[in-house]
């Protein structure tokens, strides 16, 4: 059966329209004005009639629907503007710098330990040999390099954390306010569609059917 589509009802909202209709038919037994459902007309007949009259039914809630679509588009636009841009991503050189920053203090620290140990042994065995003092001096120099490297690495991590914090906040999900407004707009449209569109149509369809008709 061909189903008419309201000119202003977007394709993505047709399923929502059908859900509101199905909810109304499922709860028809609790609505006195729909007491004829199942006797005068079956649920399948009423559903088909309402789907064929989509343009008429949805026009009763046109203002709420237009507001809902507007809020949804604004919300999508706001989410799109918070998407990360490619030039914010670190380039290949950033990885090399990070590796060097980490490796320098490690290698310098290892060299410092080796030179200090060997220098101490040589100096203990031959105090008069200048080579032992040279090794000790080299160990102290590499120890200073290791300490400086650790300070540079810590500073780099701090700068990276400070730079990434705003990006993480800005690229997160949409704030609560737009989502709340979108939910309110959707519920307002659903309520108007139900009370001013679907229920009156079902009531009129039942009233127009003679109880004696098959």
Indicate whether 201 belongs to any domain: yes
Residues 6+ positions from 93 with CB-CB distance below 8 Å:
none
Indicate whether 3 belongs to any domain: no
Question: With 80 as the cut, is the pLDDT of residue 62 above it?
Answer: yes
Indicate whether 6 belongs to any domain: no
Tokens of 100: 């060097």
pLDDT in tens, 13-25: 999 999 999 999 9
Residues 138 and 115 in one domain: yes
Q: Quote the CA–CA distance of 54 and 24 in Å, as a whole number.
A: 15
Q: Quote the CA–CA distance of 82 and 169 in Å, as a whole number.
A: 9
pLDDT top residue among 172 and 134: 134
Rounded mean pLDDT, 41-69: 95
Q: Which domain holds residue 165?
A: 89-170
Question: With 70 as the cut, is the pLDDT of residue 172 above it?
Answer: no
Q: Which long-range contacts (CB under 8 A, 24 or more apart) does 132-136 make?
A: none
Q: Please give the C-alpha separations between residue 132 and each of 107, 137, 143, 144, in angstroms, as whole numbers.
A: 21, 9, 17, 19
Residues 53 and 157 in one domain: no
- Which percentage of the chain shows pLDDT scores above 70? 78
Indicate whether 20 belongs to any domain: yes
Question: With 50 as the cut, is the pLDDT of residue 4 above it?
Answer: no
pLDDT top residue among 201 and 95: 201
Q: Quote the CA–CA distance of 29 and 32 in Å, as a whole number.
A: 7
Number of structural domains found in the chain = 2
Residues 109 and 160 in one domain: yes
pLDDT computed for residue 164 by the predictor: 64
């Amino acid at each position: 059966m061909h189903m008419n589509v309201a000119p202003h009802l977007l394709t993505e909202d047709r399923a929502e329209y059908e859900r509101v209709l199905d909810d109304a038919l499922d709860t028809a037994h609790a609505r006195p004005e729909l007491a004829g459902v199942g006797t005068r007309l079956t649920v399948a007949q009423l559903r088909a009639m309402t789907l064929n009259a989509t343009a008429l039914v949805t026009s009763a809630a046109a203002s709420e629907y237009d507001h809902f679509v507007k809020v949804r588009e604004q919300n999508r636009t706001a989410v799109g503007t918070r998407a990360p841009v490619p030039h914010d991503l670190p380039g290949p050189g950033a990885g090399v710098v990070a590796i060097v920053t980490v490796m320098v203090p490690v290698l310098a620290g290892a060299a410092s330990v080796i030179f200090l140990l060997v220098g101490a042994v040589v100096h203990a065995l031959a105090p008069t040999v200048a080579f032992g003092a040279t090794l000790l001096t080299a160990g102290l120099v590499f120890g200073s390099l290791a300490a400086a490297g650790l300070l540079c690495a810590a500073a780099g991590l701090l700068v990276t954390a400070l730079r990434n914090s705003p990006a993480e906040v800005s690229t997160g999900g949409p704030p609560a306010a737009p989502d709340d407004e979108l939910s309110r707009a959707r519920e307002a449209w659903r309520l108007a569609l139900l009370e001013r569109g679907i229920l009156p149509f079902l009531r009129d369809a039942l009233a127009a059917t003679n109880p004696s008709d098959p």
